[in-house]
Amino acid sequence: MQIRNSSDWRDALPFELPVPAADAMPGEPTRCAGCGPDSEPWPREGLWIVKHRHPNNPAGFVRYYCADHKPTPKLAPPPMSAPERARRTRAAATPRKAAAPSMPERVAVLCPDCFVEVPASGVCGMCGQRVG
Residue 5: its pLDDT value, please? Answer: 65
Strand intervals (E) in 13-131: 19-20, 47-52, 61-66
Residue 18: its pLDDT value, please? Answer: 92
pLDDT in tens, the chain (132 residues): 666 666 778 888 989 999 999 998 888 999 999 998 899 999 999 999 999 988 888 888 999 999 999 988 876 666 777 787 777 777 777 677 777 777 767 788 899 888 898 988 889 988 999 987
How far apart CA 61 and CA 72 sit, in angstroms, is 17
